Amino acid sequence: MSAPQQPYSITYLPANTTVHVDPAKVPYDRHGKPGSILEIAMGHAVDIDHACGGVAACSTCHVIVKSGFESMVPADEQEEDMLDTAPGVTPRSRLACQAVARGTCDLVVEVPTWNRNHAKEGAH
């Protein structure tokens, strides 16, 4: 079972916005996998760029899981392949639209600078 079974929180940096995730309310919206970091962000007005609409076909939703990485459901091959094309990938990088947490601990997720700039430009 990959979906979170218990409440947990995600703090998005650098906005420092903490979202409390209630598994009973997931999915919030339809951006990426149900319960993904992107979906939860979009459901709480936290901006993460998602050029392909959340189907693991871009990499603009690249985020770095600073804390709680061990609670993430491992990336599948499609996510791994697409992540390889993202700039500034780290061992804790994930595609926000594909990354689902098991909810066993709280997460701290950083939206990289280049994504934030891109999102701002796209908001016109």
Contact residues toward ligand FES (CB under 6 A) are 50-52, 54, 56-61, 82, 95, 97
Select from 115, 120, 41 the least CA-distant residue to 33: 41
**Judged by CB, which is closer to ligand FES: 24, or 87?**
87
Question: Shortest gap between Cβ of 54 and ligand FES (angstroms)?
Answer: 5
Q: Say how far apart CA 36 and CA 23 lie, in whole Å.
A: 11
**Judged by CB, which is closer to ligand FES: 104, or 117?**
117
Question: Shortest gap between Cβ of 122 and ligand FES (angstroms)?
Answer: 12
Q: Say how far apart CA 81 and CA 61 lie, in whole Å.
A: 14
